[in-house]
Amino acid sequence: MKPSEDAPIACGLLISDVLHEAGLPAGVLNVVTNDRDDPAEVVSALTADERVRMVNFTGSTEVGRAMGVQAAQHLKAAVLELGGKKALLVLEDADVDYAVDAAVFGSFLTSSPS
């Protein structure tokens, strides 16, 4: 996993820690962080690596298009979740009504009439 360089701890390292504490075996998920100056280099290296079999990207359409091209060049399966919507994880013991309210609020939080 290569989290956003804007939030490597919250979006990558904490998720990794939680999954490993829940029993995910070592080596199944690896987190690669990077500086703001080199995301394209890191993504290119990861996509080209023969050990990487699939690319899953969530983010902008512009970057997703580039990721799709890179994945295709290396014959990798690709899942591209584009347009800025974020994934939401709701655990078994969560207050579902609260989670739904938070998801709806969050999906419109930064929208504007443009």
Structure tokens at 64: 């997703």
pTM of the model: 0.57
**Domain map of the chain by residue range?**
34-85
Ranges of residues in the chain whose predicted pLDDT is under 50: none
pLDDT at 85 (0 to 100): 57
Is the separation of the CB atoms in 42 and 2 below 8 Å? yes
3-state secondary structure of 56: strand
The pLDDT value recorded for residue 93 is: 95
Query: What CA–CA distance (Å, rounded) separates 95 from 48?
Result: 41
**For position 86, what pLDDT does the model report?**
63
